[in-house]
C-alpha cells in the first residue's frame, strides 16, 4: 500500500491570507482587484518615489486610469463600468497600496466630480461630461471646502447671484484635489434659494486654479486653491437636482466609502514591506523578524488590518444591498484610517533609519494618511456623527 503524504503547509503567509479574505469575494471581485494591483505594480509603483519627491502627478495618468476602467466604475452607463460597491472599494485599496495620491485622483474624479453630475445633473450635462470623464479624456474636481469652512460647509462664503438668465459666481475654494488638472469643476455656492451646485469649465473667464506647494503629504497629487472672480455661467450650468447642503454631502459620502477600503491598501503595503525587511535585516546576528518584540508588533498590526478589511467588506455588502447610511460610513472611515496610520507609523519603527527614506513606503504612506485622516471629514467630525447616531443629539457646536 502506498501512503500519500499530506500537502505541505506554507511556512509563511501574507497578512490577509490568515483571514482568507478571498473566500469572501466572488470571481469578478478577485479579478478586478488583481487587475488593478498589476497596474499599480507595473506602472505606478516604479515611478511613485520620483513623483512623490518632485511633487508631481502626470496628467496622462488620467487616460491610463480611464483605460483601466476605474474612473466612475461604480456608476451605470455613460461609459462607466457599472461595478459593485465592493469592487470599487477593492480597486481603491489596490490603488492606495501604491500611494494615496492615486486613490485620491480616482476618488475625486469618480465619487465627487462624476457622481455629482450623475446624481444631480441634467441629461445634457451627463451626456456632455460623463463619457469624457470616464475615459480620462477630461478631468474633474469638486469645489466645496473653503479656507475658513471645512467641517462647516454650510457657512461657505462663495456666492452665486442671478444676472438675467446667467449666474455670476464669486468666492474661493481651498484644498481642491485635481484643481490645476481639471477641465470642469463642480462648485458649490450660496444663492438666494440656498446652496446650489454649478458645473464650471475651467477655461471660463474669471476662474483661476492656484496649485498649493510645499506639501509634506499627498505629494504625488495635485492640490489647489480655486478662485472665482465674477465667473459668468449660463443657466444650463446649474445642477438642476442639487438643492441644499445634502447634495454635496451625499457626494462626500461616496468618496468616504472609497477611503474605507483605500486606507487599508496603504496599511497592507506598509506591513508587507516591513515583514520582508525584518526577514532580511540581521540584528545581533539573527533576523530582526525572529525577535519576540518584532513578532508582537507584526501580529498586532495584522489583526487590525484584517479587522479593517472585514469591516470594509461588510459595509460594502450593505451598500450593494440596501444602501449604507452616512454614520456607518463614518464608522468605517474613522476606524480604518486611524488604524492604517497607526500601522504605517509602527512599521516605520521596525525599519529603523532606513524607514525615513523613499526606498521604503511606510513613512510615505504615514505622511499621506495624515491628509486622509483630515479630508472627507475629520476624525473628530466622524466621532460626532457616530455620537449623534447613538444619542440622537447633535454635538457639532
Beta pairing, strands 286-287 & 194-201: unpaired
- Please enumerate, as own/partner, the contacts of 291-298 that have beta carbons within 8 Å and a separation of 24 or more: 294/350, 297/346, 297/349, 297/350, 298/271, 298/274, 298/350
Tell me 40's DSSP state: I
**Of 245, 250, 109, 256, nearest in space to 186 by CA:** 109
322: annotated active-site residue? no
Distance CA 261, CA 25 (A): 14
Distance CA 305, CA 302 (A): 5
Distance CA 191, CA 284 (A): 68
Distance CA 257, CA 323 (A): 12
Which member of 146, 339, 346, 376 is catalytic? 376
Buried b (16+ CB within 10 A) or exposed e, 269-284: bbbbbbbebbeeeeee
* Sequential DSSP letters for 82-94: ---HHHHHHHHHH
Give residues with Cβ within 8 angstroms of 219, minimum separation 6: 51, 52, 53, 55, 101, 367
116, 146 contact by CB (below 8 A): no
Distance CA 176, CA 150 (A): 11
Distance CA 10, CA 3 (A): 21
The sign one gets for the Cα dihedral 382, 87, 199, 205 is positive
Give residues with Cβ within 8 angstroms of 61, minimum separation 6: 102, 105, 136
Q: Which residues are catalytic?
A: 376
Amino acid at each position: 500500500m502506498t501512503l500519500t503524504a499530506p500537502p505541505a503547509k506554507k511556512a509563511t503567509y501574507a497578512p490577509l491570507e490568515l483571514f482568507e479574505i478571498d473566500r469572501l469575494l466572488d470571481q469578478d471581485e478577485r479579478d478586478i482587484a488583481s487587475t488593478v494591483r498589476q497596474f499599480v505594480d507595473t506602472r505606478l509603483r516604479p515611478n511613485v518615489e520620483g513623483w512623490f519627491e518632485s511633487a508631481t502627478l502626470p496628467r496622462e495618468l488620467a487616460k491610463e486610469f480611464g483605460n483601466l476602467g476605474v474612473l466612475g466604475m461604480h456608476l451605470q452607463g455613460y461609459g462607466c463600468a457599472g461595478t459593485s460597491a465592493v469592487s470599487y472599494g477593492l480597486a481603491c485599496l489596490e490603488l492606495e497600496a501604491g500611494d494615496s495620491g492615486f486613490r485620491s485622483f480616482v476618488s475625486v474624479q469618480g465619487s465627487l466630480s462624476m457622481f455629482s453630475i450623475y446624481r444631480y445633473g441634467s441629461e445634457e450635462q451627463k451626456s456632455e461630461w460623463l463619457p469624457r470623464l470616464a475615459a480620462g479624456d477630461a478631468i474633474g474636481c469638486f469645489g466645496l471646502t473653503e479656507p475658513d469652512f471645512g467641517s462647516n460647509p454650510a457657512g461657505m462664503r462663495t456666492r452665486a447671484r442671478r444676472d438675467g438668465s446667467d449666474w455670476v459666481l464669486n468666492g474661493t475654494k481651498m484644498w481642491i484635489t485635481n484643481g490645476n488638472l481639471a477641465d470642469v469643476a463642480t462648485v458649490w455656492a450660496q444663492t438666494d434659494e440656498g446652496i446650489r451646485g454649478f458645473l464650471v469649465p475651467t477655461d471660463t473667464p474669471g476662474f483661476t486654479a492656484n496649485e498649493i506647494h510645499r506639501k509634506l503629504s499627498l505629494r504625488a497629487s495635485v492640490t489647489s486653491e480655486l478662485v472665482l472672480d465674477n465667473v459668468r455661467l449660463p443657466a444650463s450650468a446649474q445642477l438642476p437636482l442639487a438643492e441644499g447642503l445634502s447634495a454635496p454631502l451625499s457626494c462626500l459620502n461616496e468618496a468616504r466609502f472609497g477611503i474605507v477600503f483605500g486606507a487599508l491598501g496603504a496599511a497592507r503595503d506598509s506591513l508587507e514591506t516591513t515583514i520582508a525587511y525584518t526577514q532580511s535585516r540581521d540584528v545581533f546576528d539573527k533576523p530582526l523578524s525572529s525577535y519576540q518584540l518584532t513578532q508582537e508588533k507584526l501580529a498586532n498590526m495584522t489583526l487590525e488590518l484584517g479587522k479593517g478589511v472585514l469591516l470594509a467588506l461588510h459595509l460594502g455588502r450593505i451598500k450593494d444591498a440596501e444602501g449604507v447610511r452616512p454614520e456607518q460610513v463614518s464608522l468605517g472611515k474613522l476606524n480604518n484610517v486611524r488604524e492604517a496610520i497607526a500601522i504605517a507609523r509602527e512599521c516605520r519603527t521596525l525599519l529603523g533609519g532606513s524607514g525615513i527614506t523613499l526606498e521604503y513606503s511606510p513613512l510615505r504612506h504615514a505622511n499621506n494618511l495624515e491628509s486622509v485622516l483630515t479630508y472627507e471629514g475629520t476624525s473628530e467630525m466622524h466621532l460626532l456623527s457616530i455620537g449623534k447616531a447613538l444619542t440622537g443629539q447633535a454635538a457639532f457646536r
